Structure 1
């Protein structure tokens, strides 16, 4: 579930960025942490590389760019941009993500999306919250030092021309979020839909409020432990965290909006109000409502109603399910292959455990009837193949969109050269001099002709269409994975039941 964060900096001291990345800093004051000799302490672990800096440091490369192009001379000018890609903490254990792999992904991401900018790429193994989330810092100088090939997502000259400043617009962030989603999928990492908001939205202010509150609580608990007393609370929660937790607990069990409102009021004293199609919540002790969009998208009206509908269809609370169902082992066949008595004892225990897991799974899903189990497997199989077909279709449309954007960009950037060829006094010499541009122009024209495109589409519309396709793909990809996992569990359960009764029949005949 990689996330993307952007920070623009007006600090003219470019070395400060590298200093922050390699030395330990106090997370509240931002000051460097010193050792006993008063020297800055290096971070325990990090990986750092530079790009587009030549033989110079990042700071020197940025200063040379400022001097060469006469920019970033004012105090209010944005001197650098920092993009932080934070990976899901589970990726390390579940998907084999290492610092080296994250650094390689960060370098590739920087090369593809910020070409021509001096850059630092640095990977850290953990964040402020100590959750174990590997994350990559990409810091770029604001000025592009060379002209680069125009790519489909580039809309204005500042995106590819030498001496122009990088601008992190809404369109740029949308493109980068799509790239992060595609990067995670390609690397087999956890991902979320970065284009349609966040289920839980934590502001910068709330984040640091939580950090300060946790630090204060830790000091208070340490004082209690020193006197032999046990702390009553070890984890600090902000008021919004408490509100999210309480709403989520009710949302997991409620089956209608009336039920949802009544439970919130009865259990936690929270009042729900709808105004102009949006929900607001009033916790006990407050006089002002808190808007749903300020605490997370999952608390908005549309997603709340969707969750309630899902609860109604299931007619039960959401319960945790076993991640794996072990397959029953044919012990007699293994013994004939030469396995010993020790293996037989282990296999019997394994089969008992696997059968217990099978029965729990079938009971939780209400599938103890063979016909119901077969029907559910058929439904999941259909959902699995339908979702996969949609994902493949969306991938094909994204590929076609990308190809079209490439040719539109190439055609627009080489159109003037093609017009100059018509007026050239020496066409052969002009064509030889501009062979690459003319080849790209003709290839684009041939592509449009082959696909019956008479009017060039707007690059902005193509970019928006690509983002929408990526969002839909992420949604159906999650459905595909969920259906696949549940389908495998139920097929294994069905196989275990069949194997169990096949073993029981000979035993009954012997008795």
Structure 2
């Protein structure tokens, strides 16, 4: 599955590019690795060619182009572009991919798609992750040294005129991805669809931040292990990785965009906004939003709305009850815990909804008067406790009935074995052979004696009695449940009203 990556560079030292390609570098610090004599160490294996450099080196050709056309004179100018084609590790064994073949493919790709630029093409046998994937670095100077044939994907004169700078636009990248896919298809190599983006996009900077963080964590864990202490964390996660997980957690359960936004704010303090059809996320502690495209296609507007619609269709649609209310949250106490401004906005919105539900419930039940509300709460408490007492009594009687039925059934099935024991020629042997039956018989007899039962009821009568008890329990349990639900709602409403007026009094005094 060949992939294509683009990196732009503002480094004016073009020799550093070639040095990176042919010499060994420390993957974390980026410094050249020196041998015992202090000389740079060559990579174990690489292939390197240049294109459109004439008789000069790549660095010299780029510098001459900059001087001739008066380009790249400022520090912030992009001096070069690098495209990396990474082939699937399986291509070597399954499809006969060699470094020579990969280098030829890289040269062909550069000649057909990046003409007119001084270029250096270098193939390496492995990557930083040591997965064995052959990959090709294609580095071009940003200034075009000759006019080239205009291709359909070229939109502006800068894309083909001499002396103009290369621009890696979205249109250009789409074209190059298609070219990579066709290149691999023609060579019989593995390939994936590069046009549909990545569910979770990891930039070059984030990749190295993860590698450096994991290295530091491994060293810290080694120190803990030496002292006999267990490590607290084994895998390092970047801030963006944590953000992706938090967004995914909310996205997996939310059924609407409002629900999705509320969950992010309430659980993680993450604000989400839409601007020009694109989503951006603001984690707690940051001042600048992170665009969805920097996290991955999974977090953009289209994918998020599709996931929310799928969740809504998958979950059964519950009937909305107007009298269901939540509890008011003390905003001041929560803000002292270090919550962000986004969380405060969510709390304010939440409390407004709760008070609207509270007023609606009290008006619907005609309990806007405080005395009437208190009287109704007292009635419900009496009904609640009375129903609960009856339910508990019925449950106890049902348990006793079930236990009696068990012993009656056990006694009836083992009575004959107990009688055979009396006439057995070898009682000890018979006892050992029928220990389970005799144990059940004696337990049943002891139960009857403890409960003063001299005449056993019939199993059918016990079953009918159990069914009657279950029916009565269901009736009283329904009364208990209704009283409990209404009691909780009214107590919550009363508490919300009291909390609301407690918060209003200081505000009135300030005004």
* TM-score relative to the length of structure 2: 0.50
Match of 1:71 in 2: 70
Q: CA deviation at 1:269?
A: 5.5
* Alignment match, 2:43: 43
String of CA shifts for 1:90-119, please: whole Å, max 9, x gaps. 655666654344322211110101223221
Aligned twin of 1:222: 222
Change (3 A) 1:263 1:90: farther
Aligned partners of 2:81, 2:194: CA distance in 1, in Å?
Answer: 23
Seen in structure 2, the aligned counterparts of structure 1 residues 23 and 197 have a Cα distance that, compared at 3 Å, is same
Contact 1:4 1:85 in 2 (8 A): yes
Q: Which residue of 1 is the match for residue 306 of structure 2?
A: 306
Q: Distance in 2 between matches of 1:212 and 1:146?
A: 42
Q: 1:263 to 1:222 in 2, by over 3 A?
A: farther
1:117 corresponding residue in structure 2: 117
SS in 2 for 1:180: helix
Instruction: Report how far residue 64 of structure 1 moved.
Output: 4.4
Shift of 1:311: 7.0
Partner of 2:57: 57
- Could you tell me which residue of structure 2 aligns to residue 361 of structure 1? none
The 2-side partners of 1:145 and 1:238 are apart by 41
Going from structure 1 to structure 2, the CA distance change for 1:113 and 1:265 (only over 3 Å counts) comes to closer
Q: CA RMSD in A?
A: 4.2
Q: How far 1:123 sits from its partner (Å)?
A: 1.9
- Secondary structure (helix, strand or coil) at the match of 1:13 reads coil
CA contact (8 A) 1:88 1:133 kept: yes
Report what 2:193 is aligned to: 192
- 1:128-187, CA deviations, whole angstroms, 9 ceiling, x for partnerless residues? 444554432111123434444443334445444445443434443343233234334444
Evaluate the alpha carbon distance shift between residue 9 and residue 225 of structure 1 in structure 2; reply closer, same or farther with a 3 A threshold: same
Quote how far apart the aligned CAs of 1:120 are: 0.7
Report 1:243-322 matches (<5 A).
Answer: 243-248=243-248, 254=253, 256-257=255-256, 261=260, 292-307=292-307
Does the Cα contact within 8 Å between 1:8 and 1:81 map onto a contact in 2? yes
The question of 1:34 aligning with 2:46 is answered no
Deviation, 1:218, is 1.7
Q: 1:231 to 1:88 in 2, by over 3 A?
A: farther
CA contact under 8 A between 1:22 and 1:42: conserved in structure 2? yes
Contact 1:45–1:124 at 8 Å: present in 2 too?
A: yes
Q: Secondary structure at the match of 2:24?
A: coil
Distance 1:291 1:165, change over 3 A: closer
3-state DSSP class of the match of 2:81? strand
Which of 1 and 2 has higher RCO (CA within 8 Å, sep 6+)?
Answer: 1
Q: Render the CA deviation track for 1:318-343: whole Å, top value 9, x for unaligned.
A: xxxxxxxxxxxxxxxxxxxxxxxxxx
In 2, Cα distance between equivalents of 1:137 and 1:197: 21
Change (3 A) 1:221 1:134: farther
Q: Mind listing any 5+ residue stretches in structure 1 that lack a counterpart?
A: 316-511
Structure 1 residues 41 and 259 mapped into 2: Cα distance closer, same or farther (>3 Å)? same
Counterpart-to-counterpart distance in 2, 1:286 and 1:158:
38
1:236 aligns with 2:229: no
Q: CA, structure 1 residues 72+314, in 2 after alignment: closer, same or farther (shift >3 Å)? A: same
Aligned partner of residue 62 in structure 1, secondary structure: helix
Asked if 1 retains the 8 angstrom alpha-carbon contact of 2:246 and 2:264, the reply is no
Structure 1 residues 89 and 230, CA gap change in structure 2 (3 angstroms): farther
Q: Is the 8 A contact 2:99 2:125 kept in 1?
A: yes
Is the contact between residue 261 and residue 272 of structure 1 (CA under 8 Å) also seen in structure 2? no
Residues 23 and 173 of structure 1: is their aligned pair in 2 closer, same or farther, counting only changes over 3 Å?
A: same
- 1:62 Cα deviation after fit: 3.1
Separation in 1, partners of 2:73, 2:43: 33
Whether the 8 Å CA contact 2:256–2:309 is kept in 1: the answer is no
Cα separation, 1, equivalents of 2:158 and 2:279: 41
SS of the equivalent of 2:302 reads: helix
Following the alignment from structure 2 to structure 1, what is the Cα–Cα distance between the partners of residues 108 and 305?
41
For 1:201 and 1:255, locate their aligned partners in 2 and report how far apart those are by CA, in whole Å: 23
For 1:40 and 1:47, the matched residues in 2 are separated by 18
Going from structure 1 to structure 2, the CA distance change for 1:100 and 1:280 (only over 3 Å counts) comes to same
Residue aligned with 1:41, SS: coil
Mark the CA change 1:73 to 1:298 in structure 2 (over 3 Å): closer, same or farther: closer
Secondary structure, aligned partner of 1:33: coil
Task: Show the 5 A alignment for 1:85-96.
Answer: 85-88=85-88
Shift of 1:214: 1.1
Shift of the alpha carbon at 1:217? 0.6
How many residues are paired up? 313
